[in-house]
Chains A and B, each alone.
Chain A
Amino acid sequence: MNLSDSKKKLALAGVLSGLVAVCLAVFGNPVNMAFCIACFVRDTAGALGLHQAEVVQYARPEIIGLVLGAFIISVVTKEYRSTAGSAPMIRFVLGMILVIGSLIFLGCPLRMVIRMSAGDLNAWVALIGFILGVGTGVIALKKGFSLGRAYVIHKLNGGIFPALMLGILLLALFTSLLKASESGPGSMHAPLILSLIGGLIFGAVAQKSRMCFAGSIRDVILMKNFDLLTVIASLFVVMLIFNLASGRFVLGFNTPGIIAHSEHLWNILGMYAVGFAAVLAGGCPLRQLILAGQGSSDSAVTVLGMFAGAAVSHNFGLASSGTSLNPETGELVAGAVTSYGKIALIICIAVCFVIAFTNKREGAKS
C-alpha cells in the first residue's frame, strides 16, 4: 500500500485526514483547533506535570495515536527502520523551537491550515512567515546544510518512543496520576477512544502519504514538486467545506474564542521560526511524530525537544494569549504576545541561522 505515488492517492489521504479532524471538532475538540500537534504536545506535557498551566493539561490521545498509528502501519508494511545518530542535540533544540514558535502564533502548521479554513485571517498572515521560514531553510539546504547521517541501529531502539506513548495511554486509562484541565482548552476534548482512533487513522495515513506541511512548501520551492502540497490542499478543502456547512466559518482578525491573536508581526515571525526549524529538522511537528513512530530515534529526540519547548513556553510565560470576550462586561479582550515570548522568539530565529549555516554536508563548500 502506497499513498504517495500518485496525486489522486495523495488527495485521498488529505481528505481522510480532513475527515478525522472534522470528526474530532464535532465531538468536542476546541473550536478551530480540531487537531494541532504543538497544542496537543503542550497539553500532554501539562498532563505529565512538565508545566503548571492548569487550563492546558490533558494527555491528548491524538498524539499517542499518531505515533502508534505510524508505528503499526510501518511494521505491517515493512517500512519500520530503527535509526539514530544524526545530530541529536541539535534536533532537540529544533524541536524546542518548533513548539516555542508555534505557541507564539498559537498553532502548528496543521492548525494554521485549519485556522485558515475557518476564515481566521491571522493564520493567512502567519502563512507568509511560514513560507519565508521554509524558504530560508531551502537557501541553507542549497548552500549544503546537513545534520549528517543517521545509522541503522538495533530494531528495539526505534520501538522505545512508541512504547513510552503507550505507557502514557495506559496511565490515562487506568490511573488518576495525569493532570487534566477542568476549564479552558485542555478541558475541551472528544471522547478518549474516539481521539485515539482518530490519531491512529491520521498517523497511518500520514505515514503512508509522507504528509508534511513544511515539506510541501519546501518541495515546491526546491523541486517545483506539488505532490505533498496536494495532501495539504485536500485537507484544507475538506475543513473549509465543513466550516462553511456548519456555520463555523468566520472571516476576520479579531474573532473571540478561537485561541488566536492579531499581532501580525509576531504571527509572521512565530511561523517563520517554525518553517525554518522544520526544514532544518527534515519535517514539520506532525512529520517528526510520524518519523518517531516509524523508528527514527533522531525524530523521537526532536519530539522530546517539543515537549521541553512546551514546558519552557508555559513555565517562563512565552506562550501568547488568545483574543476572548470578557464574560462579565462582554468586551473584546485582545490576545497578546508576551515580552518574554518576543525575546525568546528572536533568540530561536538566531539559533536557527547559526544551525543552518554551520552544519554542512560532506564535500559542501563552506
Chain B
Amino acid sequence: MREVDARGLSCPEPMMLTAEVLKNTTEPVKILVTEPHQKTNVEKYAKDHGRTVVSNETKDGFEITIS
C-alpha cells in the first residue's frame, strides 16, 4: 500500500499530497497526519471523491486509510 507521510506539515500540504496521490492511483493509500483538522480535511476530500475512509489515532497523530 502506498503511504504518504504528511506528519508535521502545514496546511494545505497534507491535502495537496493526498490529492496528488489519489489522482495517480485507485489503489488503497495510507495518509499520516499530525493534527485533527488535517485528519478531517483529508477524510472529507477522500469521501468527496468517492473513496472510503478508515482512520486510527496513533501516538503522534492519525493514520488514514483510503480505499
Q: Does A215 lie within 8 Å of B8, measured CB to CB? A: no
Q: Does A283 lie within 8 Å of B11, measured CB to CB? A: yes
CB contacts (< 8 Å) of B19 on chain A: these are 223
Q: Does B12 lie within 8 Å of A149, measured CB to CB? A: no
Of all chain A residues, which has the CB nearest B37? A210
> 8 Å CB contacts to B: which residues of A81-98?
81, 83, 85-86
Q: What is the 8 Å Cβ interface bit string for chain A, positions 267-283, against chain B (1 contact, 0 not)?
A: 00000000000000111
- Give Cα A322–Cα B1 distance, bound, in whole angstroms: 58
Q: Does A222 lie within 8 Å of B12, measured CB to CB? A: yes
Partner of B9, one of A146, A152, A223: A146
Q: What is the 8 Å Cβ interface bit string for chain A, positions 221-261, against chain B (1 contact, 0 not)?
A: 01100000000000000000000000000000000000000
- Give Cα A5–Cα B45 distance, bound, in whole angstroms: 11
Q: Does B8 lie within 8 Å of A149, measured CB to CB? A: yes
A side interface size, CB within 8 A: 27
Looking at the assembled complex, report how far the CB atom of A299 sits from the nearest CB atom of chain B, in whole angstroms: 9
Q: Does B16 lie within 8 Å of A79, measured CB to CB? A: no
Q: When A141-B16, A223-B19 are in contact, do A282 and B35 touch as well, CB less than 8 Å?
A: no
CB contacts (< 8 Å) of B13 on chain A: these are 141, 146, 361
Q: Does B12 lie within 8 Å of A152, measured CB to CB? A: no
What is the predominant secondary structure among interface residues of chain A facing chain B? loop
Looking at the assembled complex, report how far the CB atom of B8 sits from the nearest CB atom of chain A, in whole angstroms: 3
In this assembly, does A150 line the interface, its C-beta being within 8 Å of a C-beta of chain B? Answer: yes
Q: Does A83 lie within 8 Å of B34, measured CB to CB? A: yes
> 8 Å CB contacts to B: which residues of A55-103?
78-79, 81, 83, 85-86
Of all chain A residues, which has the CB nearest B44? A5
Partner of B37, one of A4, A148, A151, A223: A4
Q: Does B11 lie within 8 Å of A81, measured CB to CB? A: no
Looking at the assembled complex, report how far the CB atom of A203 sits from the nearest CB atom of chain B, in whole angstroms: 15
8 tightest CB-CB pairs across the interface, nearest first? Answer: A149-B8, A282-B10, A150-B8, A79-B36, A152-B60, A210-B37, A282-B11, A151-B8
Extra inter-chain contacts (15) besides given A79-B35, A152-B34, CB under 8 Å? A79-B37, A81-B36, A83-B8, A83-B34, A85-B8, A86-B8, A148-B9, A149-B7, A149-B9, A150-B10, A151-B8, A222-B12, A223-B12, A281-B10, A282-B10
